[in-house]
Structures are given as structure tokens and as C-alpha cells.
Structure 1
Amino acid sequence: MTEFSIRSYTSRDAPWVLAAHARHYREVDGFDESFATLVETILRDFDAGHDPEREAGWIAVDGAGAPVACMFCVALDADTAKLRMFLVTDAARGRGLGYRLLQTCMGFARERGYKGMRLWTHESHVAACALYRRNGWSLVSCRSVRSFGQALVEQEWQIRF
């Protein structure tokens, strides 16, 4: 079985994060290029001005050092962190890596003094939503939208520490 390790994100990881998100969401959810544009903007903003004391990203790598997953924690406001750009590639799914990344991100947010976290996703991301629920997150809103070329149901989740 492949061992995975989690390391800090650096700007050198941005091309992988962008390509992995664009490929996965195009192939799995049929998202159009506007999704890749959003991810590119998020990454550019993070690389240009994140506060390393309160914001971080993580990359999970396989035994050969190849990236297989990522997650980011950014400030939403003084008391609330936002989970962003959570992705586990198909090759790494089902091995507890999403759980490890989520625990890393939530632990970081707690240690930095946030009182809670929020995230935005779509109900079609069934495995991720189940992971959030199992780890104490609550669904706070849902709404039907047309985004990224698809009819979707957006969801917002939160957890209080």
C-alpha cells in the first residue's frame, strides 16, 4: 500500500493544484473553464498575499513525492477560517487521506485561534460532504444555481470549535 505524507504548500505547487482541479472537475462534474479560472484566481491571491501566521495550504504526496491531494485554510474574518480547494485524486481516494488533510486543516485553524470554519461545496460531492458531517461540520445552507456550466446545488458548511 502506498504511504502518503503531508507537507506545506509552496507556490511551486500552484501548477499542479490548478491542473488537478481543472482536470478532475471537468472529467467528473463536467465543469467548464470558468472553474479553472476561479481556482487560478484563488491560487494567485493566496500566493500574492496570504498571512502565513493565519493561512496555510497542504499538499499530500505519495512515496515517490508526486502530489495526490491538497487543502487550504484561509481567513474568512477574524474569527472564522475558510476551507478551500480540497481535492484528493482518484488514485489516492479511499485511504484516509481526506480525513488526514481535514484534521490537519482544522488543527491549524484551532491553533491559530479561529473559533470556527466554513466551506462552500456542491451536494454532488457526496464523499466530501459525508466526511464533513462525520467530523462535526453542519450544513447551514443549500441553493440551486447554475455554475461552471452545470445545474448544481451549492452548499455551505460550518463547524464551531
Structure 2
Amino acid sequence: MIELRHLGPGDVDWLVERHAQDYARDEGFDASFGRLVREILEAFEADHDPARERAFIAWEDGQRLGSVFCVADGAPDTAKLRLFLLVPEARGKGLGKRLLAACTGFARDVGYRRMVLWTHESHRAACALYAATGWELVRSEATVSFGIPVVEQSWELDLSPCQ
């Protein structure tokens, strides 16, 4: 059975390693990506508000399978989705949907009215999941990041209660 846990011992190093390894292999990202992931995680550990920010780490049989984070994004009503990751062997089993639902559900439950995220067009499965769950693509821009040409995307989700 897959369990969703908060950030615990060893998770930061695992997340940095998996992000760096998977994105270097799959996308060709350079080492600056792993450094960015570490900075994000260290800031989260040092300064997150547990009442409004949360990590979701998926575990099964003693193995980590993925993650997603809900963090504040400056404005009191806006959350940011970060560090959405599934290891390759966990893909195609509905875990991405479950992680995304847990993250957006948490954001809604603690009072955020909007959620944003930043990703790359090449993450086709994740982008398809965002589109299928009500996220709106609000910006798409070609640039160079992590040592390669990419198309960065910004997405938003309205978390307001249905009228």
C-alpha cells in the first residue's frame, strides 16, 4: 500500500539525487538543477509554515516513489506546487493523480484560493495531468535553463469553492 508522508530523515538527499539524476538522464539538465532543488528543500526545511505548507513523499514497501510540495507563493491566497516527481517505475499507476490531488486538496483546505506552478513543456505527462485536472496554461516561453534550450511554462489553478 502506498503511503503519503511528510518530509522525513533522508528525504532531502534522496530528492536532490533523484531530481538531479532523472533530469540529467531524461532532459539533459546540468548540475545547476540539483543545486536549485537542494536550495528549495533547505529553505523549506528551515522556514516552512506547517499550517500552510506541506511535503508529500510517497512510500511503498520501504521505497520512496515520488513527491510533491505545497508552499506559499508570496500572496496570502496563493500556493505554489513544487518538486512534483515520480520515479519511472511508479509512473502509469495513478500515483501522480493521487499526489496532485493531495497537494491541491491540502492547499484548498488551508485556505489558498489559487495555486501556481512552473514546469517545462517537455514534461508531457505532467502537463497532460495538469490540463486534465483543471489547471490553465498561462505562459509558455522559450529560454535556456539548466544548460539547455527549454520551453518554460506557468500554470494556474483556481481553488475557490464552487459557487
1:152 is aligned with what amino acid? V
Output one character per residue of 1:36-77: Cα deviation in whole Å (capped at 9) or x when no partner. Answer: 010010001000000000001011012x22101000000002
Asked if 1:74 is matched to 2:63, the reply is no
**Aligned-residue RMSD, C-alpha:** 0.8
CA distance in 2 between partners of 1:103 and 1:50 (Å): 21
Q: 1:42 to 1:73 in 2, by over 3 A?
A: same
Query: How far 1:12 sits from its partner (Å)?
Result: 3.3
3-state SS, counterpart of residue 66 of structure 2: strand
- Of 111, 114, 117, the residue aligned with 1:113 is 111
Distance 1:17 1:56 in 2: 15
**Large movers: runs of 4+ above 2 Å:** none
CA distance, structure 2, for counterparts of residue 21 and residue 133 of structure 1: 23
SS at 1:79 equivalent: strand
Q: Which amino acid aligns with 1:68?
A: L
Structure 2: gaps of 5 or more residues = none
SS at match of 2:93: coil
Cα distance per residue 1:107-146 (max 9 Å; x no partner): 0000110001000000000000000000000000011110
8 Å contact 1:22–1:33 — kept in the other structure? yes
Per-residue deviation at 1:11? 5.1
Moved more, 131-140 or 6-15: 6-15
Q: Where do residues 29-48 of structure 1 align in structure 2 (5 Å cutoff)?
A: 29-48=27-46
In structure 2, distance between residues paired with 1:59 and 1:74: 14
How many residue pairs match? The answer is 158
Provide the secondary structure at the position in 1 that maps to 2:122. Answer: coil
Identity of aligned pairs, percent? 49
Q: Which residue of 1 aligns with 2:133?
A: 135
Structure 1 residues 11 and 74: alpha-carbon distance in aligned structure 2, compared to 1, 3 A threshold: farther
Structure 1 unaligned segments of length 5 or more: list them.
none
Q: Distance in 2 between matches of 1:78 and 1:59?
A: 25
Shift of 1:10: 2.4
